[in-house]
Chain A
Amino acid sequence: MSTLIANDLRMGYTSGKLRAEVLRGLSLTVDAGQLTLIAGPSGCGKSTLLSILSGLQRPDKGSVMALSEDLWRSNRRSLDHFRLRHTGFVFQGFNLFPALTALEQVMLPLGYMGVGDRAARERARVALDEVGLTPRAHLLPAELSGGEKQRVAIARALVKHPQLLFADEPTSALDAANGQIVIDTLRRIAHEHGTTVLCVSHDPRLVTHADRVLEMEDGVIWNDRRAEPKSENAS
């Protein structure tokens, strides 16, 4: 089932007298329950595409239907609300609050969703367990490794039970082993929770693990590859 449908997206930036077209009438659909990867060289427009699909940046032209909602017809407040209810984000920089323990980082967004403290703590524990960080739950970011921080960030996205999970270069700051853990986690989330996981990366390690790879260059998608169905443990 397609949970994200983009139609004729156009986006450009003006720098001085130069106008650079980053997206040139791009259309795509993304399905639930899969890890979809947008790959391409830096500057090809993949991060811009992610920010438009996730409701963070308004396109010059075109529309995005996310969970049957026309994102860019909404006002700012309902966009915030949409993201709060339905989306999770994982960024390249982990962006964790230095003052909060891993458990508190994960609980934090739930407070804004109106989840009570006790329920939030329970959900945060489950989310941290899912990324294998239960023993590290009481630690501050300064006491965690890079890979652990990114797993906390994933748990923070996951704890909201989002239908859409966006990840921007989630592995590029990590070594091979930690990158592998993060990739596996993202894919498991897609398969087990039926979440639409859309990941942007130029990390070649990710390509072999994605269920679908969209290759992008110069503001258009020029290749759409779907992996052969394989068992969960085959990776």
Chain B
Amino acid sequence: MIALARKTLLHEWRRFLPAVLAVAFSGVLLLMQAALVFGIFGATAVYITASDARVWVGYPGTQSIELGRPIGPQAHTALLMDPGVARVEPFAWVGADWRGPPGTGGLSVFVSGIATRPDGMIFSSVLSASQRALLQEPFAVIVDRADLSKLGVPVGGQALINGDLVRIVGTASGIRALGGVNVVASLDTARQLSIDGGDGADVAYYVATLKPGADPARVAARINARARGYAAWTAPAFARRAVSYWMFQTGAGLGVIFLAVVVFIVGAIITSQTLMGAIAGSVREYATLHALGVGLGSLRRVVLEQAAWIGVSGLIAGGLLSLGLMALAKFEEVPVAMNLPAWIACAWVVMAIALVSGIAAVRVLRRADPALLLR
């Protein structure tokens, strides 16, 4: 069988190029908006993604870190008793009010109480051992470098959190939060800063690293099988919960879907118009084939095959362009992040754009009436 669709596409690539570009740019738009949304909302899971804990245990049904509740010490015991767990560490989260120097007003801050030992799990990828050591000083805190101006206090300066005096002992990079400022302190400091005072934080978790070869999903399942008043998640699962909660809580998720629909429609219109033009240009040849007895169904398949090839080419071009843009965005510290399911979803939408365009363009074949060739 002669590969008419593919050979025509290659030979008349100039004619089909606009369609490929339309598909490619649709793909880029879809991927980039997804990457931006994941990048921005990924900040809601920064506690999880910047830590090397593999299993998180918290209040049952917790959708995002700040929405948890304190849990009892029996969760700690359950983790310690699990054969897959290597080490367990508590993590406290306190929503608090920041008062800087006069004239800067109040700010909402999120205080993370973390273990200060050098191999502490929380924020392991953004805090060095020496920074952790600095936090052992009571009421010492570390903030993101980018948040200093917002807080109105330089390193070494003092401010009030929930009425207690704290001192900024250092800065880190990569702990920015969404909708507030992350402040890192020791577990003791965080508990002191809690409005309840004394023993309780607003939210408490236990996190664990695992022994070599232990499967986080299995450990979480074992903990959950006997859990009462607490629940366990693998780190990626807990991070996903946080991101998707915020995406849909804020309407950003709907925004993504809405824009995806707009991109789909625009992409499909441009692609189908280009395809129609290309088919109209070959309509006499198609009519000849039809005269020779090739059914309209077979001719439609040629058009749909062309659409599919346009989709594949656009997908490859758009994917490469997106990879380049992602690298550029990361270089410029634009918050972008991507995951495989999102890549796959975008790829499906791009192929759908191409195929819907093909289906729309098939109509032009009605003009391939062989009787027209005889006039």
Interface residues of A (CB under 8 A from B): 47-48, 50-51, 54, 56-57, 77, 80-85, 87-89, 91-93, 95-100, 104, 107-109, 111-112, 117, 140, 156-157, 160, 168, 200
Contacts and interface: CB of A to CB of B under 8 A. Distances in A.
Contacts of A111: 1-2
A104 B8 CA distance: 12
A141 to B, nearest CB: 10
Given A81-B295, A97-B4, A100-B7, 4 more contacts: A80-B293, A99-B11, A99-B12, A140-B11
Nearest to A49: B374
Counting chain A CB atoms within 10 Å of each CB, which of B287, B291, B296, B298 scores highest?
Answer: B291
A20 to B, nearest CB: 13
B374 A168 contact: yes
B295 A95 contact: no
B288 to A, nearest CB: 4
Given A50-B374, A56-B374, A57-B371, A99 B293 contact: no
Interface in B319-375: 370-371, 373-375
Contacts of A57: 371, 374
B292 interface: yes
B69 interface: no
Contacts of A54: 291
Contact of B295 (A48, A80, A85, A109): A80
Contacts of B11: 98-99, 140
Contact of B375 (A47, A77, A88, A100): A47
Contacts of A98: 8, 11-12
A168 B375 CA distance: 9
A136 B289 CA distance: 22
Contacts of A84: 292-295
Contacts of B1: 111, 117
B7 A91 contact: no
A140 B10 CA distance: 13
A82 B293 contact: yes
Given A83-B293, A112-B294, A56 B284 contact: no
B173 interface: no
Nearest to A124: B2
Contacts of B285: 95-97
A48 B295 CA distance: 21
Given A77-B295, A100-B7, A95 B288 contact: yes
A83 B12 contact: no
A108 B371 contact: no
Contact residues of B: prevailing secondary structure: helix
Contact of A104 (B2, B295, B298, B370): B2
Contact of B291 (A81, A89, A140): A89
Contacts of A117: 1
B282 interface: yes
Contact of A95 (B8, B10, B12, B287): B287
Nearest to B9: A99
Contacts of B12: 98-99
Interface string B268-291: 000000000000001011011111
Nearest to A109: B292
B4 A100 contact: yes
4 closest A-B pairs by beta carbon, nearest first, are A84-B293, A99-B11, A83-B293, A111-B1
Contacts of A51: 370-371, 374
Contacts of A95: 284-285, 287-288, 373
Nearest to B8: A99
B13 to A, nearest CB: 10
Contacts of B289: 108-109, 112
Given A98-B12, A100-B2, A107-B2, A91 B292 contact: no
Nearest to B295: A80
Contacts of B370: 51, 56, 89
A83 B284 CA distance: 17
A81 B293 contact: yes
Nearest to A140: B11
A168 B12 CA distance: 28
A112 B373 contact: no
27 contacts: A48-B374, A57-B371, A80-B293, A85-B293, A87-B292, A89-B288, A89-B292, A89-B370, A91-B288, A91-B291, A95-B285, A96-B285, A97-B282, A97-B285, A98-B8, A98-B11, A99-B4, A99-B10, A99-B11, A100-B4, A100-B7, A108-B2, A109-B292, A109-B293, A112-B293, A117-B1, A160-B292
Given A88-B292, A108-B289, A157-B292, A97 B8 contact: yes
A99 to B, nearest CB: 3
Contacts of B296: 80
A100 B282 CA distance: 13
Nearest to B6: A99
Contacts of B373: 91-93, 95, 168
B280 to A, nearest CB: 14
Contacts of B298: 112
B374 to A, nearest CB: 4
Counting chain A CB atoms within 10 Å of each CB, which of B4, B296, B373, B375 scores highest?
Answer: B373
Contacts of A140: 11
Contacts of B287: 95
Contacts of B288: 89, 91, 95
